[in-house]
Amino acid sequence: MSAIIRITNGTVYTGRMRLERGEVVVSGSHIVDVLPESEKHPPLPGEEVIDATGHVVAPGFIDVHVHGGGGGDTSERDPEAVSRMSMAHARFGTTSMLPTVYPAPWPEMIGAIDAIEEAMKEWPQGARILGINMEGPFLNPSKCGALKPECLMMPTEDALTRLVAASDNTIRMITIAPELPGAVGVIKACRERNIRTAVGHSNASYEEMILGINAGINHVTHVFNAMRRTHHRDPGVMGTILINDEITTELICDFYHVHPAMVVLLIKVKPNDKITLVTDALTITGLDGTTFEADGRQVKVIDGLARLADGTIAGSILTMNKAVKNMVSTGLVPLEDALKMATLVPAKVLGIQHNKGTLLPSSDADIVVMDEDFNVKLTMVEGRIVHRATGF
């Protein structure tokens, strides 16, 4: 029998309820029990006890949109770079992720896919790599943001088939601008392949968005960013998203990508269980320094915001624990709901909520322990402690 680890005396958020001074019992790669204080008993010989008094114990964070971190980035097309980002984000409570590929010349894009797939097989001592997120290349050049417009292409089912084949069916999500010729057919093809389709980098009208939703779009890439704005006679992408409750939305909650007032608007309009916190993080995340390279271009961090030389916002240096903290700081989202936005909601987006995103018996032992200021003290991935703060 596997050694037992008991994380005890913390405030446990299971994804269904909160337990004061609860206990999470881990054996091997899974949770075997979650106990209220009244049902706890002294540990048996050989069991490891982790005292989480005064700390939050929650499911590990799931980041479905992340490009880099810890000095590694998907654009390097190197499994070691992907491993570095996986290990870096584990320090901030991320236990699962979708490394995200930028649009690039075809051979480079395939190289990035190959690198992620290789890292996924090797699985470093960091966050579990669940698959690949393709941010494009079927995007609208007029809304390219920090992406390279020359690397975008019109959507075709042939191109999708080649991407899926290159990934060995590990693509879990893809961003598409539904207004592009051929997009509706590709969206339908994604649905047939069980690939989550998101709208993003799009200049779609309301009518074009409805066609995309009816074809299978059910997610939004970094809401508000790089997409057509709302006008009272032209709802556009954002207007359509905000009135369709069933569409989940990614939010980069660093208060730079989206103004705090617009975060409040989103909270008031969208159900909390349809908001997914993401980092959209770049290679420098988790490191000191202000100047680095991402997607082959120089990026500079000024006052906490990463920008290209022309001033365009280029991803973030956000971490998932900080995103949760920022959501709670709005005063509109209870901690329990903010945690779900980083755990259970993205698990549902990927259809893995029976294994991840909760602390329940038989769930994967993906666990984060944080202090009252959201500093991560311990991260466990499938029963393995991959990060432990000094003295904890």
Number of domains in the chain: 2
* Domain match, 121 and 17 both: no
Domain match, 48 and 80 both: no
pLDDT at position 291 is 80
Q: Which domain holds residue 372?
A: 4-58+357-388
* Separation CA 213–CA 270 (nearest Å): 17
Q: Are 249 and 276 in contact (CB under 8 A)?
A: yes
| Same-domain pairing of 338 and 211 | yes
| Counts for the chain of helices (H) and strands (E), in that order | 10, 22
Q: Based on the domain organization, do 228 and 281 belong to the same domain?
A: yes
**pLDDT digits 0-9 by tens, 162-194:** 999 999 999 999 999 999 999 999 999 999 999
pLDDT for the residue numbered 303: 74
- Inter-CA distances, 47 with 27, 354, 391, Å: 10, 27, 19
Per-residue pLDDT reduced to its tens digit, 222-253: 999 999 988 899 999 999 999 999 999 999 99
Same domain, 51 and 126: no
In a shared domain, residues 305 and 171: yes
Integer angstrom CA distances of residue 132 from 63, 141, 187, 351 = 11, 22, 17, 15
- One-letter amino acid for residue 26 of the chain: V
Give the residue among 215, 247, 242, 216 at the shortest CA–CA distance from 228.
242
Q: Which of 280, 295, 337, 364 is catalytic?
A: 280
Same domain, 129 and 18: no
Task: Output the domain CATH number for residue 47.
Answer: 2.30.40.10
C-alpha distance from residue 59 to each of 31, 95, 146, 267, 299 (Å): 11, 9, 32, 22, 33
pLDDT tens track for 6-60? 999 999 999 999 999 999 999 999 999 999 999 988 888 999 999 999 999 999 9
In CATH, what number is assigned to the domain containing residue 201? Answer: 3.20.20.140
Give the three-state DSSP class for 281.
strand
Q: Are residues 296 and 370 in the same domain?
A: no
What is each CA distance from 3 to 172, 228, 339, in whole angstroms? 33, 53, 28
pLDDT digits (tens, 9 = 90+) for 308-367: 777 777 778 999 999 999 999 999 999 999 999 999 999 999 999 999 999 999 999 999
| pTM reported for the whole predicted model | 0.95
- 42 and 116 housed in the same domain: no
What average pLDDT score do residues 87-99 get?
A: 97
Backbone angles phi, psi at 227, to 5 degrees: -155, 160
What is the average per-residue pLDDT within 82-88?
A: 96
Output the pLDDT for position 192: 96
Active site residue 73: no
Whether 87 and 28 map to the same domain: the answer is no
User: Same domain for 53 and 67?
Assistant: no
Specify whether 206 is located in the same domain as 269: yes
